[in-house]
Amino acid sequence: MVTYTAPLDDIRFALNDLWGYDQTVAPLPGCEDATSDVVDAVLEEAAKLCVNELLPLNRSGDEEGCTFENGVVRTPKGFKEAYTAFIEGGWAGLSADPEYGGQGLPKTVQFIVEELICSTNLSLGIYPGLSHGAYNALELYGNDALKALFLPKLSEGTWSGTMCLTEPHCGTDLGLIRTKAIPNGATGPDGEMAYKITGTKIFISAGEHDLTENILHLVLAKLPDAPPGAKGISLFLAPKFITKSDGTLGPRNGVACGSIEHKMGIKASATCVMNFDEAEGYLVGKPHGGLRAMFAMMNTARLAVGIQGLGLAETAYQSAVAYAKERTQGRSLKGAKHPDKPADPIIVHPDVRKMLLTMRAQIEGCRALAAWIGMAVDVAERHPDEAKRQEADDLVALMTPIIKAYFTDVGFEVTNLGMQVFGGHGYIREHGMEQLVRDARIAQLYEGTNGIQALDLVGRKLPQGTGRLLRRFFHPVLAFIEDNQTNADLADYVLPLAKAFGRLQQATGWVAQQGLRDPEEAGAAASDYLRLFALTALAYTWARTAQVVLAIPEAERQAFHKAKLSTARFYMTRLLPQTSSLFAMINSGAKPVMETEEAWF
């Protein structure tokens, strides 16, 4: 069994001390009642739910997995009861609009609760997680009748949602989809034209299960007059059961699960092949306008997947720390630290400490960054000033591929480090570490592989608005450096940040110039550039953390604050120097990558 306690102290620090939640989010329209005290109470209850209801099912769910028989998918023992407790507590509609039965809490709170869920039972959390993406797309692009009919059910969690995008022959390049939508001559429950949808979708998380009474499939398909490529994509809603205009369920629709995948991890999450055989569906948004709606779903999902990496990393860290304090092997290099015992705990050894500090520095840096971007999501949606909304939306767009890719890389790296701390005991099932590693691996793959995220960053986000998105990050970081570069107390934190930021600026210029000359130059640099960007972003959060802690009189600093300074110093001296090698690799260009002829592989 893994060790886990919700890291609420660190969450409070990130929200309140680092980013000023009560000054940034609480004053926004609709958030006035969601003060930090209220949020804290919500998180306390979320922690209880996750630790008491979800965590005990994590290992058994992995061992049992989902079963598939005669088109029916059954989740592991206890999942249905835990999901019922989840929706009865109102967690499914935490940030949903009160107009549709949601609680209307800030998206920042949703971000944090998702971390707690992923730390304790990622497989179970995927079911309501997919519903959030479906809810967002339908809220943004559905007509009023569709929203009135389906959003309340998604908010209460009695119905769930999916994203049906991938097909056997196409994943990232969705312009190649073959699924067709043909008008069926009838009207849907919204009074608009209904369609017959035919095609096969694969890798559909939560495509079929026994947790909810209905499943709403958001499906990408092409109309008969669709132009070629991505411009011909439309989005449709096809429910598992035909839904009448009064919200009652009719007969089974023409959509069925053909099989479920047998996977490396997240075994209690049903990953389905979904067959649509003239299934009735309703257009969401405009004809051929599915691409924008798709990105509404995928951007929500990509941020959520990044949080999955963070959540699993936290559990791995806590478990590794507990083990390192208990497991006795050898003696400290400076002599016995526990002479009353036959050996010292392995936490005395430098290599073990380096692994634990690497885990901690990455996790807490990522959590601080997630809090900043989560708050920006709320500002982008709710701020009364259009310019402020645009600035925040730009920042979220810029950081989405970074959060998705870097957080999931960190999730896999940290869970592997946790296994290393356990040694051979980590490789066997008993302690739960090998499951964390297996579960973490998928997050680097789905919702766009991390290589695709890197291409999105350099190919779309960097040039957008002639660098407008970049300025949303560069300007506050530069202002922080300039404001604090002469502060002697902060020198150990600001100077390393300034050097890394300088490398990021130079790398950005290099990628922009070389990419215009030869797109393969940008492509070859993309993954290294994303990691360089992420390491610099975390350095910014750690420098700000040091600033907050050093502002507290030394006599009043608690162990928590002292640990923050120590971890910040470790990050700046032992992890941030990676930016030097990444900068060198970026500047080596595409030739070392592309000059090898295909036949030589």
Q: Is 434 a catalytic residue?
A: no
From the list 242, 256, 199, the residue with the least C-alpha distance to 223 is 199
Rounded to 10°, the helix 519-550/468-484 angle is 40
Structure tokens at 454: 């890197």
Instruction: Exactly one of 213, 447, 556, 595 is catalytic; name it.
Output: 447
Spatial distance between the Cα atoms of 451 and 283, rounded to a whole number of angstroms: 32
On whether the CB atoms of residues 217 and 195 are closer than 8 A, the answer is: no
From the list 306, 158, 145, the residue with the least C-alpha distance to 237 is 145
Structure tokens at 427: 């490789």
Sign of the Cα pseudo-torsion (164, 169, 172, 176, in order)? negative
Structure tokens at 55: 């965590």
- For every residue of 58-109, DSSP letters joined together read HHHHHHH--EEETTEEEPPTTHHHHHHHHHHTT-TTTTS-GGGT-----HHH
**Cβ count near 72 (within 10 Å):** 12
Structure tokens at 197: 């949808």
308: left (phi over 0), alpha (psi -120 to 50) or beta: alpha
Structure tokens at 41: 């109470």
- Cα→Cα distances 40→310, 315, 458, Å: 20, 21, 38
Spatial distance between the Cα atoms of 16 and 14, rounded to a whole number of angstroms: 6
Count Cβ neighbours within 10 Å for each residue of 331-367 and write b for 16 or more, e otherwise: beeeeeeeeeeeebbbbbbeebeebbbbbbbbbbbbb
Active site residues: 447
